[in-house]
Amino acid sequence: MSTDPSEKPLSPWWRHAVILVMALGFGLLTVVTVVTYSNAPPIPTRVTDAAGATLFTREDVEHGQEVFLKYGLMEHGSLWGHGAYLGPDYSAEYLHRLAEISRDTLARERRAVPYAMLDPDAAASVSAAVHRLLKENRYDARTGALVFSPAEAAAWVIQKGEWAAYFSGAKPAPGLPAKYIRSPGELEDLNSYFAWAAWATVANRPGKNYSYTNNWPYEPAVGNQPSASTFLWSALSLVTLLAGLGTVLFAVGRFDYLGWHGPSARAHVHDSPLARWTPTPSQRTVALYFGVVALLFLLQTLAGGALAHYRVESGAFYGIDLARFLPYNILRTFHLQLAIFWIATAWVAGGLFLAPIVGGAEPRGQRAGALALLVALAVVVFGSLGGEWLGINDRLGALWFWLGHQGSEYLDLGRFWQLLLVAGLVGWLVLMYRALRPAIRDPKRSELAALFLYAAAAIPLFYLPALFFGPRTNFAVIDNWRFWIIHLWVEGFFELFATVLVAVMFVVLGLVTARTATRVIYLDAILYLAGGIVGTGHHWYFTGQGTLNMGLAACFSALEVVPLTLLTLDAWDFIRLRERRCEDCQTTFADRHRWAIYFLMAVGFWNFVGAGVFGFLINLPIVSYFEVGTSLTNNHAHGSLFGVFGMLALAVLVFCLRSLAEDTAWARAERWIKVGFWGLNAGLALMMAIDLFPAGVLQLWDVLENGYWHARRLTYLMSGTFHALEWARVAADGVFLVIGVVPVVLAVAFLLLGSRKRGISSKTS
C-alpha cells in the first residue's frame, strides 16, 4: 500500500493528544480500582448471633461464592444487579425475605402476632424499627466479627431451607434441572454468601448514611432509597454531556476536514491498492475463518432463540424438558460466549487479510501461521464450551475453575482456556507484525501501519485483567476487573481496532487517503477514550464502590454519548463514499463492496441508537439505580453488541469474501447477503420495539411501584403484559433468524463450498 507523496504529514499533536487522554483516563481508573480493594464490603471472619454463637464464617462465605460461580448462577440470576434475567437477583431476594422475616420477628416480640395482623400504627412502628435494625452496621473491623440481631439470625436459618428447596427441591428452579445442587454443605454456604451480599446492600458504611452498595437495591421495606449522591451526579452528568456535545460539534463544524469525507486516494478505481492486489496464500486461508464465523454465528443465534423461550415457558421448550440437557445458565453462557468468539474471529480474520496489503507483501510461512491460529481458536472455542457444560454439572471436581465454568458473566470460560486465548491472540499479533513490518519500517507508510499494529496489540494486552482475580476474590473486586474486560476491552479497544479496520479497508479501496484515515483514527481514539476509560465505572455504581467512582463515572460516561452522536455523520459519510465515482470511467469506487458499506452504515445507525440513546438512557446513576438487571439493560446489550460489533464483523466478512470471490460466484451469493442484511436489521429493530424496550419500561415501572425484588421474580415475568410481550418477540426472533442469519450463513457456505469450482479466486479484479 503506497501513499501519496504530496500529502503533508499529520501534526504530531494528534498523537500527543491520544497519549494525554489515555494517561489521564488510566490514571483516574487506576485510582478507582485501587480504592476498590479498600472500599469493598468486608467479609467477616465470623458471623455470630446476639448470644455469641457462630452462624457462619469467612470460609463459608468464600466457599459459598465458589458454589455460586461453579454452578453458573450469575448466568441464571444476578448479584448486586449484574448477571442474567430469568432467576431472581439473589441479593435483592434475600434482602426482601430478610425484611419480611424481621418484621414478623419484631411483631411477635412486641405483640405476639405476625406482622400482617398488626394495626396500621403498630405496623408502621415495627417497619421503622426494622429500618433502624438492618441499617445498623455491627461489624467490628478490629476483630473481624459481625453480630446478627435475632431477626437477622432467624432470617438466615429460615432462608437456608428456602434456598435449599429452590435449588434442590422437588420443583426445579426455573430453567434449571431438578435437584441442581445436591450437596447440603454447598447449599448452606451458598445461603451464607447470599446473607453476606444482602447485608452489604443494607448496612450503612461506617460513618455514612448509605450502604456499601450506595443503598441499592430499591427496597422500601428496609429503608433503601437512592442516596443524595445518586441524584447529584445524575444532574451534573447532564451538564457534562451538554458541554461535551457543544465543544465537539463546534470543532466538527469549524474544521470541516474532520471525518471520512476527505479526498479519494486514487483518481481511478483500477489504481486502488486492492484492485492491483493478487490474493496471497494466507489471505485465501482466511476464507476458512469466515466459515467458522458463520457456524458460530448460527449456533449463537439458535442458543439465543432457545434462551428467549425460557422467558415464556420456564419449565419446558414446547413440551421438551430442555433444562435436563441445556439449562438456562449454560445456554446463556453459550449465547454470550459464542457472540464474542464469532465477532472476534471475524476481526482477527480481517486483520490477517488486510495486513499483507498494508505491508506490501506476504512474509514466508504466513499461511502456516494462519492455519495454526485457526486450529488454536477452534480448540479454545469448543474446548471451553465443553468444559463449561461439564463444570456446571459438577463433573470436574477441583478443576472446575480452570477447565469448567468460571462463573463470571462474559468471562465464563475456565482459566486454562483464558490462558490459551491470550496465547492465541499473542500469536495473531506476531502474524500481524510480520505482515506489517515492511510498512512500519518505511517512513512514508509507517504511521497507519503502526496504528494498525498498536490497535491489534491492545486486544491481548487489555484482556489480561481477566487473570487478575480468583474464585475467592471479593465480589466487588471481581466485578471491577470484569468490567475492565467487558467495557474497556470490548467497548473500548475493540471499538478502536474496529475504527482502524474500517480505515484500512477504505484506504485499500482507494476511497480515502492514508492521511484522512489516520486523522479519523486519532480523532475517534480521542473521543472514545476520553469518556470511555473512566466511564467504565458506570457499571460499578452499586457494586461495593464509593461515591468517588460514582462522580467520576457519571460525568465521563456521559461523554461517551458524544462520539456515538457523531456516528450519525459517519453514516452519511459512508453513503457519500459508496457513491464516489472514478474520474476516468465513472465506475463507483465501492460498487464491488457496496454490501460491506451497507453493513458499515448499519454500524453507524446502531451505534447511535443501541449504544448511544439506549446506553445513555440507563447510564445515569438515578436511572441505573432502578433499572440495572432489567430488560432495559438487555435492550441496550442487543442494540450495541450485535448492532455495532456484530454488524461490523459482518461488514468485515462481506468485504474479505467479496475481495476473494470471482464475480460469478459472488453474484449468486450476493442475493443471500442482501436478504440477510435487511433481515438482520429488521429482526433486531423488531426485537427491541416489540419486546425489549417496552418490556423494560414496564419492568422499570414495577420496580418503582413494588421494589426491585418484585420486578425480578418469576411471578412477574410470567404474568400480564410483560409476559405477552415476551411471547410477541417470537415474531422478531423468527425474522432475525430465518430472514437474517440463515441467508448470510448460506452465502458463506456457497462461497466456501464453491471455492473448489473457483468460487474463491486466486486473483481479485
Domain end, chosen from 225, 259, 293, is at 225
**625 CA to centre of own chain:** 19
pLDDT value, residue 168: 95
Q: Print the SS3 string covering 39-97.
A: HCCCCCCEEECCCCCEEEEHHHHHHHHHHHHHCCHHHCCEECCEECCCCCEHHHHHHHH
Nearest to 73 by CA among 508, 409, 435, 500: 409
Does 661 or 760 have the greater pLDDT score?
Answer: 661
* Pair 217, 244 in one domain: no
Domain end, chosen from 168, 201, 225, is at 225
49 domain residue, yes or no: yes
Q: What is the mean pLDDT of residues 92-114?
A: 94
Instruction: Tell the burial category of 181 from Cβ atoms under 10 Å away from its Cβ (0-12, 13-18, 19+).
Output: buried
Binning pLDDT at 50, 70 and 90, where does residue 4 land? low
pLDDT value, residue 601: 85
3-state DSSP call for residue 146?
strand
* Pair 142, 233 in one domain: no
Nearest to 210 by CA among 193, 221, 222: 222
621 domain residue, yes or no: no
* Pair 524, 609 in one domain: yes
380 domain residue, yes or no: no
Q: Using an 8 Å Cβ cutoff, are 387 and 404 in contact? A: yes
* Pair 598, 705 in one domain: no
Count the helix, strand and coil residues of the chain and give each as a percent rounded to the nearest 5. 70, 5, 25
358 domain residue, yes or no: no
* Pair 493, 586 in one domain: yes
* Pair 220, 250 in one domain: no
pLDDT value, residue 3: 53
* Pair 67, 207 in one domain: yes
> In the predicted model, is pLDDT for residue 192 greater than 50?
yes
pLDDT value, residue 764: 40
pLDDT value, residue 577: 58
Share of the chain above pLDDT 70, in %: 91
Phi-psi sector, 207: left (phi>0), alpha (psi -120 to 50), beta? left
Range in 218-222, 276-280, 408-412, 414-418 with the lowest mean pLDDT: 276-280
pLDDT value, residue 256: 59
Q: Print the SS3 string covering 260-287.
A: CCCCCCCCCHHHCCCCCCCCCHHHHHHH
511 domain residue, yes or no: yes
pLDDT value, residue 343: 95
- Counted residue by residue, the chain has a size of 765
- Please give the grid coordinates belonging to residue 378: 477452534
**What is the rounded average pLDDT for all residues in the chain?**
90
754 domain residue, yes or no: yes
* Pair 94, 78 in one domain: yes
Phi, psi (rounded to 5 degrees) for 105: -60, -45
The pLDDT tens digits of the residues spanning 625-681 come to 999 999 999 999 999 999 999 999 999 999 999 999 988 899 999 999 999 999 999
313 domain residue, yes or no: no
* Pair 243, 162 in one domain: no
- In which domain, by residue range, is 710 found? 661-765
pLDDT value, residue 246: 84
> In the predicted model, is pLDDT for residue 571 greater than 80?
no
**711 CA to centre of own chain:** 23
* Pair 578, 520 in one domain: yes
54 domain residue, yes or no: yes
Residue 219's identity, in one-letter code, is: E
Q: What is the mean pLDDT of residues 720-749?
A: 96
In the 8-state DSSP scheme, what is residue 698?
H
Binning pLDDT at 50, 70 and 90, where does residue 570 land? low
Q: Which residues pair with 678 in a beta bridge?
A: none
Residue 698's identity, in one-letter code, is: L
Binning pLDDT at 50, 70 and 90, where does residue 715 land? very high
* Pair 133, 268 in one domain: no
Domain end, chosen from 166, 201, 225, is at 225
The pLDDT tens digits of the residues spanning 477-514 come to 999 999 999 888 777 787 788 888 888 888 887 777 88
Residue 70's identity, in one-letter code, is: K
* Pair 699, 612 in one domain: no
Domain count, the chain: 3
> In the predicted model, is pLDDT for residue 267 greater than 60?
no
Instruction: Tell the burial category of 706 from Cβ atoms under 10 Å away from its Cβ (0-12, 13-18, 19+).
Output: middle
**595 CA to centre of own chain:** 26
